[in-house]
């Protein structure tokens, strides 16, 4: 039974890791096609990608959009969670539902809706419109995480702070936010990664300045190339670094 | 259904931690046994070994004379009431209680009838179609009891079953448990860290500490004639009597002590003069804190009869009677 | 009373920005899309006609109607396979792996989650291609004589999706499993249940919330995804997102794209209704 379990786990792990291993391995491929046999290693594709100005600009755009949209989503979500967790408002279930709703709608539909509205209003597709779209998809996430993290324990601490003369904003930034730090960081980093990796909204709502996934997409159209493996591996590396930082900063601290 | 239980040199370790160290105990059929001790003393481990959830590292478990050491939980004549009750949340009370009967292949009509009978015994038959989350803590506890009893075990194991209840409900449930045990005659093995609970329900108490049994005897004996310092301390307040007052040299690892009700202004052993520092009224006695007037400044707690209270700050001659002779090691 | 009202007003002030944002950039676009789905295209001009022409077309024109079935078939296949693969993995991690390595095991199980979504599909295209690792190894060990076509078939789309959703479902089912008291399994065994009955009657029902939450997320994300079928499935059969993108790209037919989107949303809503009694969305 135990051996069977380990065999199963190994098999699934191979399945899960197969594409990642192939991706990273053939980013070091020497010849022009990222398929067996492996004839590397070489770093020339990384050099090529890092020297590609369009690619680097897309990377910068992605980072900027991710950071700004994640901050906006976090702020909006934090205030909303605070407002709804503190007192029972009339229609608070409805408001909660409304805030969560975008989570259940395909990104494609959100993108299409925004595209039609922006078209109607005459807004040009840009990084800004993409950012707006990313706030729409990340706001429910931030709200849900923070709302779930707000408990009685913290409500009592807020009450105590107000009792001792703190103003609303002081309570929020001196008591609530520090107490919710792990949840805030988790929500922020998740939003950053989701925005950073998001394709369809960025594809429909950008035109000249594009984000990284869109740039990679247009690279795919010219066929298989180890350069795509290289940029894919780089993106993976960045995400892993963020993940490890998150693990070290947020979860280690919250444990102690 | 009932059976006797025999534990023979049972030891258990988790890695390098010795949870149980050479346990030897005999429970008679139909006895209400309480395993009493502080958390981490091994009492729950012992219960899990009885239930078949752990296999002892060494030693034997006999139930009704049969060796059960290697028998799986599902094939043992024991059932357990878990600390968190472990009621199946997706099943009604009736289905919960009938679960064991279902596993034994009893038809639906028969097992529901039986389940309702047992639910009636614990006073919840009118809620048989409810789900566990609709019940109060005390009611859940009863359902857990009913579910474990439905399969008519020879030995019922209870793992701190009253731990989650408030004090008043706890005392009430203790009486009910005792009454149910008397009625069905099954051997009960009950784990708790509450010595008052142990005194209230047990036919026999096994006081445990650091994986060993310090003393196993009826409640009166464990309280009045404890064998070890640990069990004496765990069963109630204790005053250590300095050896020089005992008039004879103490042996190795032996100390003398007296319960607060055996300290007073008269008695067999003089403790010298002591000053009353503080007192509180408990209805049937005054609980008094004395401090010896000599160089040792020994502290004593005494329960003095109502109306016999000295002034605070007054020095009176203090006496001990019925001293206990206690071993400091098992 | 006035204190309470003040408090409520202030709380409402906190919620308002998020509500306004959601209304402006989610509800309004949705309403606009709904109205647009009732319009039609004349030449390159959008003419509002308030009729159901687009919807009639979706359900009568075979190429569009087929898209609904292709999407539903792929999504349901993916959801079922992913649950069947993920449950045992989550269970093994939760019960067989020593506790202090569990966090590591789960992090490893979802690690490829953090590759770019586009890149992940591309990587599967590499793996499953005619000259890819899988075909080459199968030929190498003599199972196949020549490569078979997987890329640009539904099979490739399903594999790509299953890969992603096994990770997601393992996570939701695992977090459900570790919240269960070990005493449930003990109690079942204690009352005479064998392994199969303990699983069937106790553990499986107790993990239904985790399964249904994950399955619903799988359904939503899978049925609305454009990239995976586009990269792996090719153009032999088109899913609804592919059809929507086709309307936008080729002809700029926003009304038809909107109508298809509305149909897609209705499907998701139906899936939500079917699984809602087990869902705990706040916990996601």
- Is residue A42 classed as helix, strand or coil in its secondary structure? coil
CA distances from C110 to C31, C114, C177 (A): 37, 8, 17
When pLDDT is averaged across residues A78-96 and rounded to a whole number, the result is 84
For residues B226 and B308, membership in a common domain is answered with no
Nearest to A36 among C16, C115, C136 (CB): C136
Most B CBs within 10 Å, among C181, C187, C194, to test the B interface: C187
Domains of chain A (ranges, CATH numbers)? 61-214 (1.10.3720.10)
When pLDDT is averaged across residues C141-155 and rounded to a whole number, the result is 86
Structural domain span for residue B216: 5-233
Of all residues in chain C, the percent with pLDDT exceeding 70 is 97
Q: Quick one: pLDDT band at residue A253, thresholds 50, 70, 90?
A: low
For residues B14 and B120, membership in a common domain is answered with yes
Say yes or no for a CB contact (<8 Å) between C186 and B80.
yes
- Please list the residues that pair with B319 across neighbouring strands: B264, B270
Give rounded-to-5 percent helix, strand, coil for chain A.
80, 0, 20
| pLDDT over threshold 70, residue A252 | no
Residue B316: φ, ψ to 5°: -130, 155
| pLDDT over threshold 80, residue C176 | yes
Nearest CA of chain C to the CA of A56: how many Å? 16
- Is residue B232 classed as helix, strand or coil in its secondary structure? helix
Residue indicated by tokens 């609970």: B197
b/e code A21-46 from CB counts within 10 Å (16+ = b): ebbbbbbbbeeeebbbeeeeeeeebb
Q: Which of B212, B233, B254 is the last residue of a domain?
A: B233
Average pLDDT, chain C: 90
| pLDDT over threshold 70, residue A256 | no
Judge contact between A185 and A200, C-beta under 8 A: no
For residues B268 and B223, membership in a common domain is answered with no
Say yes or no for a CB contact (<8 Å) between C265 and A105.
yes
| Spatial distance between the Cα atoms of C49 and C60, rounded to a whole number of angstroms | 19
Nearest CA of chain C to the CA of A99: how many Å? 7
Query: Which tokens sit at C197?
Result: 């009955």
Looking at residue A249, its pLDDT comes to 76
| Spatial distance between the Cα atoms of B178 and C40, rounded to a whole number of angstroms | 80
Which letter does DSSP use for residue C281 in this model?
G
Which letter does DSSP use for residue B127 in this model?
G
C211: contact with B, CB 8 A cutoff: no
**Pairing between strand B187-192 and B32-36?**
parallel
Q: Which of B198, B233, B268 is the last residue of a domain?
A: B233
Say yes or no for a CB contact (<8 Å) between C112 and A16.
yes
A123: contact with C, CB 8 A cutoff: no
Q: CA dihedral defined by A186, A189, A192, A197, rounded to 10 degrees?
A: -90
For residues B224 and B255, membership in a common domain is answered with no
Residue indicated by tokens 């695992």: C174
Looking at residue C1, its pLDDT comes to 53
Domains of chain C (ranges, CATH numbers)? 69-283 (1.10.3720.10)
For residues B224 and B318, membership in a common domain is answered with no
Task: Identify the closest residue of chain A to C115 by CA–CA distance.
Answer: A236
Query: Which tokens sit at C266?
Result: 């209705």
Report yes or no on whether pTM surpasses 0.80. Answer: yes
Residues with Cβ within 8 Å of residue B40, at least 6 apart in sequence? none
Nearest to C257 among A35, A104, A112 (CB): A112
Task: Identify the closest residue of chain C to A241 by CA–CA distance.
Answer: C114
| Spatial distance between the Cα atoms of C263 and C57, rounded to a whole number of angstroms | 12
Q: Quick one: pLDDT band at residue A254, thresholds 50, 70, 90?
A: low
Nearest CA of chain C to the CA of A49: how many Å? 15
Residue A231: φ, ψ to 5°: -65, -35
Domain count of chain B?
A: 2
Nearest to A80 among C15, C26, C281 (CB): C15
Q: Quick one: pLDDT band at residue C44, thresholds 50, 70, 90?
A: confident
For residues B243 and B292, membership in a common domain is answered with yes
Looking at residue A83, its pLDDT comes to 87
Say yes or no for a CB contact (<8 Å) between A213 and C118.
yes
| Spatial distance between the Cα atoms of A69 and A73, rounded to a whole number of angstroms | 6
Say yes or no for a CB contact (<8 Å) between C193 and B99.
yes
Of all residues in chain C, the percent with pLDDT exceeding 90 is 61
For residues B98 and B247, membership in a common domain is answered with no
Looking at residue B11, its pLDDT comes to 94
Looking at residue A251, its pLDDT comes to 65
Q: What is the pLDDT of residues B210-266, one digit of tens each?
A: 999 999 999 999 999 998 999 999 998 899 888 888 776 667 788 889 999 999 888
Q: Do chains A and C touch (3 or more CB pairs under 8 A)?
A: yes
For residues B182 and B302, membership in a common domain is answered with no
Q: Which of B233, B262, B291 is the last residue of a domain?
A: B233
For residues B27 and B119, membership in a common domain is answered with yes
Judge contact between B142 and B124, C-beta under 8 A: yes
For residues B219 and B309, membership in a common domain is answered with no
| Spatial distance between the Cα atoms of A9 and A21, rounded to a whole number of angstroms | 17
Say yes or no for a CB contact (<8 Å) between C25 and A77.
no
Nearest CA of chain B to the CA of C183: how many Å? 6
For residues B218 and B246, membership in a common domain is answered with no
Using beta carbons and an 8 Å cutoff, which residues of B are at the interface with C? Answer: 51-53, 72-75, 78-80, 82-84, 86, 88-90, 99-100, 103-104, 147-148, 151
Which letter does DSSP use for residue B228 in this model?
B
Q: Which residues of A touch C125 (CB under 8 A)?
A: 224
Judge contact between A127 and A67, C-beta under 8 A: no
Per DSSP (E only), the strands in C97-233 are none
Q: Quick one: pLDDT band at residue C281, thresholds 50, 70, 90?
A: very low
Looking at residue C243, its pLDDT comes to 95
Residue B158: CB atoms within 10 A of its CB come to: 27
| pLDDT over threshold 60, residue A137 | yes
Task: Give pLDDT < 70 ranges for chain B.
Answer: 248-250, 330
For residues B243 and B189, membership in a common domain is answered with no
| pLDDT over threshold 70, residue C47 | yes
Average pLDDT, chain A: 88
Q: Quick one: pLDDT band at residue A179, thresholds 50, 70, 90?
A: confident
Looking at residue A38, its pLDDT comes to 86
Looking at residue C279, its pLDDT comes to 67
Q: What is the pLDDT of residues C82-130, one digit of tens each?
A: 999 999 999 999 988 998 899 889 988 888 888 888 999 999 999 998 8
| Spatial distance between the Cα atoms of C281 and C217, rounded to a whole number of angstroms | 10
Say yes or no for a CB contact (<8 Å) between C183 and B151.
no
Residue B231: φ, ψ to 5°: -70, -35
Report how far apart the first and last C-alpha atoms of chain A are (Å, whole number). 37
* Neighboring chains of A (3 or more beta-carbon pairs < 8 A): C
- Is residue C257 classed as helix, strand or coil in its secondary structure? helix
ipTM of the predicted assembly exceeds 0.95 = no
When pLDDT is averaged across residues C39-68 and rounded to a whole number, the result is 90
| pLDDT over threshold 90, residue A76 | yes
């Amino acid at each position: 039974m135990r051996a069977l379990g380990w065999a199963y786990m190994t098999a699934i792990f191979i399945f899960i890791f197969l594409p990642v291993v192939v991706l990273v391995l053939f980013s070091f491929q020497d010849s022009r096609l990222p398929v067996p046999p492996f004839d590397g290693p070489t770093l020339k594709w990384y050099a090529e990608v890092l020297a590609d100005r369009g690619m680097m600009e897309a990377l910068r755009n992605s980072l900027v959009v991710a950071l700004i949209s994640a901050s906006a989503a976090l702020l909006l979500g934090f205030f909303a969670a605070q407002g709804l967790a503190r007192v029972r408002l009339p229609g608070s279930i409805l408001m909660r539902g409304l805030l969560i709703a975008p989570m259940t709608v395909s990104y494609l539909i959100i993108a299409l809706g925004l595209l039609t509205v922006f078209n109607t209003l005459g807004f040009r597709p840009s990084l800004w419109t993409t950012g707006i779209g990313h706030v729409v998809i990340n706001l429910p996430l931030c709200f849900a995480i923070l709302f779930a993290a707000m408990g009685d324990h913290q409500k009592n601490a807020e009450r105590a702070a107000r009792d001792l003369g703190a103003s609303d904003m002081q309570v929020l930034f001196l008591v609530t936010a520090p107490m919710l730090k792990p949840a805030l960081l988790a929500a922020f980093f998740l939003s950053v990664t989701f925005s950073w990796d998001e394709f369809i909204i960025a594809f429909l709502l950008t035109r000249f300045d594009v984000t990284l996934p869109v740039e990679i997409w247009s690279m795919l159209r010219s066929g298989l190339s180890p350069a795509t493996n290289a940029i894919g591996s780089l993106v993976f590396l960045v995400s892993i670094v963020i993940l490890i930082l998150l693990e070290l900063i947020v979860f280690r601290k919250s444990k102690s | 259904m009932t059976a006797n239980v025999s534990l023979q040199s049972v030891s258990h370790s988790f890695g390098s931690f010795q949870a149980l160290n050479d346990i030897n105990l005999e429970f008679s059929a139909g006895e209400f046994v309480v395993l009493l001790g502080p958390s981490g003393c091994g009492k729950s481990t012992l219960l899990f070994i009885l239930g078949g959830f752990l296999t002892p590292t060494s030693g034997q478990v006999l139930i009704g004379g049969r060796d059960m050491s290697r028998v799986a939980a599902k094939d043992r004549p024991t059932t357990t009431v878990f600390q968190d009750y472990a009621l199946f949340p997706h099943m009604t009370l009736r289905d919960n209680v009938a679960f064991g009967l279902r596993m034994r292949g009893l038809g639906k009509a028969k097992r529901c009838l039986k389940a309702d009978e047992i639910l009636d015994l614990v006073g919840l038959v009118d809620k048989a179609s409810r789900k566990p989350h609709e019940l109060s803590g005390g009611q859940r506890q009863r359902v857990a009891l009913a579910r474990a009893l439905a399969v008519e075990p020879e030995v019922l194991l209870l793992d701190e079953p009253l731990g989650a209840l408030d004090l008043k409900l706890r005392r009430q449930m203790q009486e009910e448990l005792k009454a149910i045990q008397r009625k069905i005659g099954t051997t009960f093995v009950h784990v708790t860290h509450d010595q008052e609970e142990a005194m209230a329900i047990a036919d026999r108490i096994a006081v445990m500490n650091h994986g060993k049994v310090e003393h196993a005897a009826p409640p009166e004996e464990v309280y009045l004639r404890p064998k070890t310092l640990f069990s004496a301390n765990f069963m109630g307040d204790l005053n250590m009597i300095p050896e020089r007052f005992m008039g004879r040299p103490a042996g190795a690892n032996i100390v003398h002590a007296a319960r607060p009700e055996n300290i007073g202004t008269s008695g067999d052993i003089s403790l010298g003069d002591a000053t009353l520092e503080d007192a509180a009224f408990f209805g049937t006695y005054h609980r008094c804190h004395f401090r010896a007037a000599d160089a040792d400044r020994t502290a004593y707690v005494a329960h003095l009869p109502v109306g016999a209270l000295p002034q605070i700050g007054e020095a009176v001659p203090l006496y001990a009677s019925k001293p206990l002779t206690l071993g400091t090691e098992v | 009373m006035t204190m309470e009202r003040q408090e409520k007003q202030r709380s409402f002030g906190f919620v308002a920005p998020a509500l306004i944002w959601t209304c402006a950039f989610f509800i309004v676009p949705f309403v606009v899309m709904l109205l647009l789905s009732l319009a039609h295209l004349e030449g390159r001009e959008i003419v509002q006609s308030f009729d159901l022409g687009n919807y009639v077309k979706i359900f009568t024109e075979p190429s569009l109607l087929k898209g609904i079935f292709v999407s539903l078939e792929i999504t349901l296949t993916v959801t079922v396979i992913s649950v069947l693969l993920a449950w045992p993995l989550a269970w093994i991690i939760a019960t067989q792996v020593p506790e202090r390595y569990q966090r590591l095991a789960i992090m490893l199980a979802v690690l490829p989650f953090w590759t770019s979504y586009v890149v992940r599909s591309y990587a599967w295209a590499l793996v499953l291609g005619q000259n890819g690792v899988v075909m080459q190894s199968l030929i190498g060990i003599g199972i196949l004589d020549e490569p078979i076509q997987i890329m640009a078939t539904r099979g490739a789309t399903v594999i790509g999706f299953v890969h992603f959703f096994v990770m997601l479902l393992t996570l939701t089912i695992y977090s459900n499993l570790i919240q269960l008291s070990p005493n449930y399994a003990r109690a079942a065994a204690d009352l005479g249940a064998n392994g199969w009955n303990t699983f069937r009657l106790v553990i499986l029902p107790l993990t239904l919330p985790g399964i249904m939450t994950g399955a619903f997320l799988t359904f939503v994300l899978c049925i609305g995804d454009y990239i995976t079928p586009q990269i792996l499935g090719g153009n032999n059969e088109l899913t609804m997102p592919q059809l929507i993108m086709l309307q936008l790209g080729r002809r700029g037919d926003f009304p038809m794209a909107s109508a298809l989107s509305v149909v897609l949303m209705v499907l998701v809503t139906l899936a939500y209704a079917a699984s809602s009694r087990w869902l705990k969305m706040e916990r996601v």
